[in-house]
């Protein structure tokens, strides 16, 4: 009886599929659905067009901030006994709207990939801004309010930047697809914003970002192709930095200015025009493995 149970146990264990084991894929539904639907760029878009083209992007920028004001205290010790001063102050960061524009190129992958369908790059100029409001209440050593001071700091920084992104596409139908992208951008500040306050503030924990920004970013958009037989499509998307590489501030992608942090975002509208194929160009000749082997042998002679 024990032997029978052991044989049955081994039969069950040896026939459990191993994670990662190869299984034949249905040609019509590889990876995550019908490939004709989910590979729009290399098959549908490129009919009479090349896999490369020009992209033009532009749109507004915006800086997200923490909600609400932060409360702080700062004590000023006097050399005269009984004249110490206590400052209770609040700071609140506010968002500002900017703008950007970019030009670059798009390259669709030559062979279909599971996750990577195309990549693009661009060079452009973008403007990010922010505001910081400060309210300071002054108390004497008896904790009596003796004054109230307000101030405001605001800035706009302008960056010349380069960007590279890799895109994964999920097709809904011939005219619409979901566009995910992960990329990297390197920015250099050509226009440095104001570092002075209008009014009074307590300059505690102030930090001003350096001229160079390096970030990893993620974007999510909806691709729209008005005509299937044309090499034009456009993608409205939102782009957010997810990791700050340089200058390193614990990985936060925020821009540090005054005593606050500002998280940049870009609402991107990208237009893509693929280059049209030369009608006089001869199509490539299909070859088999034996022909390729003969060509290699002839080349090595």
Digit-coded pLDDT (tens) for 5-36:
444 443 443 333 333 322 334 444 443 344 44
Confidence of residue 116 (pLDDT cuts 50, 70, 90): confident
Per-residue model confidence as pLDDT tens digits over 136-189: 989 888 888 888 999 999 999 999 999 999 999 888 887 899 999 999 999 999
**Cα–Cα dist 41/120, whole Å:** 13
Q: Which range among 3-12, 77-86, 214-223 shows the weakest confidence by mean pLDDT?
A: 3-12
pLDDT at 74: 80
* pLDDT recorded at residue 7: 40
pLDDT of residue 16: 35
- pLDDT for residue 231: 86
Distances (CA, A) of 98 to 41, 52, 58, 158, 242: 32, 30, 11, 9, 20
Residue 8 is predicted with a pLDDT of 45
pLDDT recorded at residue 292: 62
pLDDT exceeds cutoff 70 at 131: yes
Return the structure tokens found at 280: 């006089």
Q: b/e map of 84-102 (b: 16 or more CB within 10 Å)?
A: eebbbbebbbeebebebeb
Lowest mean pLDDT among 5-9, 116-120, 123-127, 249-253: 5-9
Most confident of 111-120, 260-269, 286-295: 260-269
Q: What per-residue confidence (pLDDT) applies to 9? A: 45
Give the pLDDT confidence score for residue 27 in this predicted structure.
Answer: 44
Q: Which of 126-135, 227-236, 279-288 has the lowest mean pLDDT?
A: 279-288
Strands 85-95 and 70-76: antiparallel
The pLDDT, as a whole number, for residue 49 is: 84
Question: How far, in Å, are 40, 114, 181, 211 from residue 118 at the CA level?
Answer: 11, 11, 9, 31
Average pLDDT over the chain, rounded to whole? 81
Bridge partners of 23, per DSSP, are none
pLDDT at position 293, please?
A: 65
Domains and CATH numbers, the chain: 33-278 (2.40.160.20)
Query: SS3 helix, strand, coil % of the chain, rounded to 5?
Result: 10, 55, 35
Q: Over pLDDT 90: what percentage of the chain?
A: 48
């Amino acid at each position: 009886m024990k032997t029978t149970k052991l044989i049955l146990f081994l039969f069950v264990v040896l026939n459990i599929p191993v994670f990662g084991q190869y299984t034949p894929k249905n040609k019509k539904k590889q990876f995550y659905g019908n490939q004709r639907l989910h590979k729009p760029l290399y098959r549908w878009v490129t009919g009479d067009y090349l896999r490369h083209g020009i992209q033009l992007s532009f749109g507004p920028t915006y800086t997200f901030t923490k909600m609400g004001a932060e409360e702080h205290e700062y004590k000023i010790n006097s050399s005269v006994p009984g004249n110490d001063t206590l400052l209770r102050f609040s700071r609140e960061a506010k968002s500002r709207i900017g703008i950007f524009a970019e030009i670059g190129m798009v390259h669709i992958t030559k062979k279909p990939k599971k996750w990577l369908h195309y990549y693009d790059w661009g060079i452009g100029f973008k403007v990010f801004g922010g505001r910081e409001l400060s309210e300071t209440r002054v108390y004497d050593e008896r904790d009596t309010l003796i004054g109230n001071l307000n101030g405001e700091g605001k800035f706009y920084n302008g960056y010349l930047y380069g960007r590279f992104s890799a895109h994964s596409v999920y097709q809904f139908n011939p005219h619409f697809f979901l566009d995910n992208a992960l990329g990297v951008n390197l920015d250099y500040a050509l226009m440095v914003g104001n570092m002075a306050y209008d009014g009074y503030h307590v300059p505690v924990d102030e930090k001003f970002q350096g001229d160079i920004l390096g970030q990893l970013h993620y974007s999510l958009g909806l691709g729209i192709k008005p005509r299937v037989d044309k090499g034009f499509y456009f993608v409205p998307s939102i782009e957010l930095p997810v990791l700050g590489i340089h200058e390193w501030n614990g990985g936060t992608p925020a821009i540090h200015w005054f005593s606050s942090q500002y998280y940049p975002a870009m609402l991107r509208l990208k237009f893509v025009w693929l280059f049209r194929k030369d009608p006089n160009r001869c199509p490539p000749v299909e070859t088999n493995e034996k022909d390729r082997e003969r060509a290699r042998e002839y080349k090595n002679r």
